[in-house]
Structure 1
C-alpha cells in the first residue's frame, strides 16, 4: 500500500479507504457517550437507534467519499499539503482503536466481560448457545482473561505513538482476527461481530502502510546460515512436503486401524431394559444406578452407562472402554469398576439396535435408539 510523502501522491482509493475509516472512527467516538445513558432511555428510544445508526453510517461514508475526491483533486493541482491530512486521519484511526480495544481489555480485568449468568450454569450443555459457551469458557479462568486484556491494553498503548504503531498492530491483529472468528462461528451478537471486523480492517490498513518494510523483513530477508547440501532442490521440497503429509497420514492410519471406534459413537436412549427376564420400570433409575437410561459411546474416549435421562453424573454412572467387532456384532465393555459386559448387538442399524449380554450375574436385554444432539 502507498504511504504518504511529500514527493509521492497517493491514489484516490487510498484516500477513500483512509477517509472512510477515519469517518467511522469519528462516528464511534461521537456515539461513545451514549453508553452512559440510563437503561430507561434505551427502553424508550432504542427502537429508533437502528435507523439513526444506519443513517449516520451512510452519511459518514458519503462524506468520506466526497472529501477524498475533493482532496485528490486539490492534490493534483498541488494546492494541498497531503502529508498533514494523512497524519490527522491516521491519528484519528489510531486513537480510536486504542480507546475501543483497550476498553475491552479493561472489561476483562474489571470482570464486566465473560461473566456467565447463574441460570446458564443449570442448563444442559447441549442447550447452551455459542455465546453462552464462549462466555463460560473464557470466564472460567480469570488469569487467562487478564492476560488477553493486558495484550489488548498494551497493544492499544503502543498505537498511541507513531514509533510503536507497527508493533502495536502486530500484537493486536492476531487477537482481533481470533475474536472475529469466534464472533462469527459461535454466533456472538451482530454488533460485536461488526465491531470486531471494523477494528480488524483498521489494523490491516495500518499494517499495510508498512508493506515494503514488511516484505523486506518477512520475504526478502534470507537467513545467513550456510546452505545445507542435499543434492537437487526437489529433495528439499519433497522433505518439506513429507513432514506435513506425515502429520495427516499418521492420524489417518490410526483411524483405519480402529475403524469400529466410530460405528457406535454417539448417545443412545434405552427404550426398554430387561434385567434377568424382568422389564425395568421407566422410574427405576431414581433408586437403582444400574437402571440405565442413556448409553454413551465416545470412540477413543470410551463409554458410559448412565441412569439419569436428564443429566450425566460420572459418580452414578458406569465408565469404561470398549471393543466392538462389527463383523460378528460382538461388544465387550471393560468397566473401570473391573466388571465386564460381553454382549451381542442384534438388529443393528444406524438408528436402533438391541444389546443382549451378561454383566456379572445379570443377563441384560436393552433396546437402544440413537439420539441426535
Structure 2
C-alpha cells in the first residue's frame, strides 16, 4: 500500500496536517531566505510581514483542507495528486533547511566562537548562551551533527530513500526540539524545529502500513535459549537490578544531602589565631568558600568570588551521620598515600555549622554559612 493510499479517504485532520505542514513550512522557509536579504531600512517591517505571511499560510491550509475533504467525500476529487505534491513540497523545504543548518555547522557559522560568552561565568549564561558554548566547544561534535543533518536531508530528496532519511533525522530533530524548549532558545527557532519534526512524523505515518507489515514479517532466526519462564526472569532481573542499584546509591548519597552546597567561611582560626579577611590573596590555605558536592567531593577555595581550580584543594569525604563528622581524604601531599583528616561538625543548622579539624600540623576551626 502506497503512502497516498494511506491518506486517501481519511479524516479531515490528516489532510489538514499535510497541507498545513507543507504550506506553512514552505512559507517559513521562503521567509527564512528572503527576510535577511531585505535592506536594513525596512527591518522594522520584517516581523510584521513574516507573521502576516505565516498567518495567511495557516488560514489557506485550513480552508483548502476543508475544501479538499468535502470534495473527496462527494467523490468528485482525486486526492492522490495533491497528496503527492504536498509530500514533495514538505520533503523539499525540510531538506533545504536541514542542509542549511548542516552546512552552517561545518563552516562554523553555527556554534562559532563567541568572545563574550567565552569570557562569561557559566552560572550567569542564559539557556541559548549555555547551549552555544556547549556545542561550540567541540568542532568535531558539530561536524557529526552536521553529517546526520546533511545525509538525512539528501535522502529526503529522493522518494525511495525518504524513510531512511526520516529514520536518521527524527531522533536528531526530537533532541533539538527538546533543547529549544527547555533552554528557551527562541520562538522562531523553536517553531521551525517543531515544524520539521512534525513534518518528519507526518511522512513517517504515511508509510505506517508498510512499516507495520515489515515488523510483522520480521522474525529473528536465531534459536531461543532456555524456556519462557527463565527468559522472563532474566528480563525482570535486567530491569530490577539497575533500578535497585540506583535506588541504593541515591539513598546512600543523600544521607549527606543536608551538607550539599556552597558554604561561605565566615570565620577561620588557625592554631588559635584568627585568619584575616583578606589573607586569601596571599595564602591559598585561607579558604573563603567550601563546596560540598555529591559523590563525596569537596573543594576548598580561597577565592570568595569565584571558583579557581589552580588555587583550590580537592578532597574526598565520607560522612558519618551518627557521629556527625566527615572523614576527609586529602591527596595534596602524596596522591598515592592520601591522608585521612577527621572533621568534627558542631552547631549544625540548616544554613550554618562549625568545623574543627587538624589539617596536617595546623589546628583549624571554621564557621560556615550557606
Same fold, judged at TM 0.5 (above):
yes
Question: Aligned in 2, Cα 1:39/1:308: closer, same or farther, shift over 3 Å?
Answer: farther
Q: How does 1:163-202 map to 2 (within 5 A)?
A: 163-202=160-199
Question: Which stretches in structure 1 are left out of the alignment for 5+ residues?
Answer: none
How far 1:256 sits from its partner (Å)?
4.1
Give the corresponding residue for 1:346. Answer: 346
- Residues 206-261 of structure 1, C-alpha deviations (whole Å, 9 max, x = no match): 0001101111233553323334342xx45433321221111111122234455544
Question: Which SS does the other structure have where 2:201 is aligned?
Answer: helix
> Bigger shift: 250-259 or 294-303?
250-259
Q: Distance in 1 between matches of 2:8 and 2:185?
A: 43
CA gap of 1:83–1:141, structure 2 versus 1, over 3 A, is same
List, as ranges, runs of 4+ consecutive aligned residues in structure 1 with deviation greater than 6 Å: none
1:241 counterpart = 2:242:
no
Q: Does residue 267 in structure 1 map to residue 241 in structure 2?
A: no
Other-structure match for 2:128: 131
What displacement does 1:39 show? 4.5
1:94 and 2:88 correspond = no
Distance 1:7 1:305, change over 3 A: closer
- After superposition, the Cα gap between the structure-2 partners of 1:149 and 1:6, relative to the gap in structure 1 and judged at 3 Å, is closer
- Tell me the equivalent position of 1:37: 38
Residues of 1 paired with 2:2 and 2:63: CA distance? 21
Name the structure 1 match of 2:159. Answer: 162
Residue 290 of structure 2: aligned partner = 295
How far apart are residue 177 of structure 1 and its match? 0.2
CA distance in 1, matches of 2:276, 2:119: 27
SS in 2 for 1:28: helix
Tell me whether 1:309 sits opposite 2:304 in the alignment: yes
CA contact (8 A) 1:116 1:132 kept: no
Is the aligned partner of 1:206 residue 2:203? yes
Further displaced range: 119-128 or 252-261: 252-261
Structure 1 residue 284: Cα displacement: 1.1
Report the Cα distance in structure 2 between the residues aligned to 1:5 and 1:167, rounded to whole angstroms: 20
Which sits farther off after the overlay, 181-190 or 2-11? 2-11
**Pair 1:69–1:254, CA change in 2 (3 A):** closer
CA change 1:260–1:69 in 2 (3 A) is closer
The answer as to whether partners of 1:6 and 1:82 remain within 8 angstroms in 2 is: no
How far is 1:167 from its partner?
0.8
1:282 correspondence with 2:277:
yes
Query: What is the CA–CA distance in structure 1 between the aligned matches of 2:253 and 2:193, rounded to whole Å?
Result: 42
Matched residues in 2 for 1:221 and 1:209: separation?
20
Structure 2: 5+ residue stretches without partners: 334-338
Matches of 2:166 and 2:6 in 1, distance apart?
25
Deviates further, 66-75 or 250-259: 250-259
Cα deviation, 1:139-190, whole Å, max 9, x if unaligned, reads 1111110111111011111111111111111111110000011111122112
Aligned to 1:71: 68
Which residue pairs with 1:55 in the alignment? 52
Residue 352 of structure 1 deviates from its aligned partner by: 0.9
Task: Say if 2:7 and 2:14, in contact at 8 Å, map to a contact too.
Answer: no
Change (3 A) 1:346 1:156: same
**Structure 1 residue 72: Cα displacement:** 2.7
Separation in structure 2 between the aligned mates of residue 57 and residue 41 of structure 1, nearest angstrom:
19
Partner of 1:146: 143
RMSD, aligned α-carbons = 2.3
Number of equivalent positions: 364
- On the 8 A contact 2:16/2:62 being kept in 1, the answer is yes
Structure 1 position 320 matched with structure 2 position 321: no
**1: CA distance between counterparts of 2:161 and 2:4?**
18
Distance 1:5 1:259 in 2: 57
Q: What TM-score, normalized to structure 2?
A: 0.91
Q: Would the alpha carbon gap of residues 301 and 115 (structure 1) be closer, same or farther in structure 2, given more than 3 Å must change? A: farther
Query: In the alignment, is the contact (CA less than 8 A) between 1:16 and 1:68 conserved in 2?
Result: yes
Contact 1:340 1:359 in 2 (8 A): no
Residues 303, 320 of structure 1: 8 Å contact kept? yes
Sort the Cα spacing of 1:229 and 1:327 in 2 relative to 1 into closer, same or farther, 3 A. closer
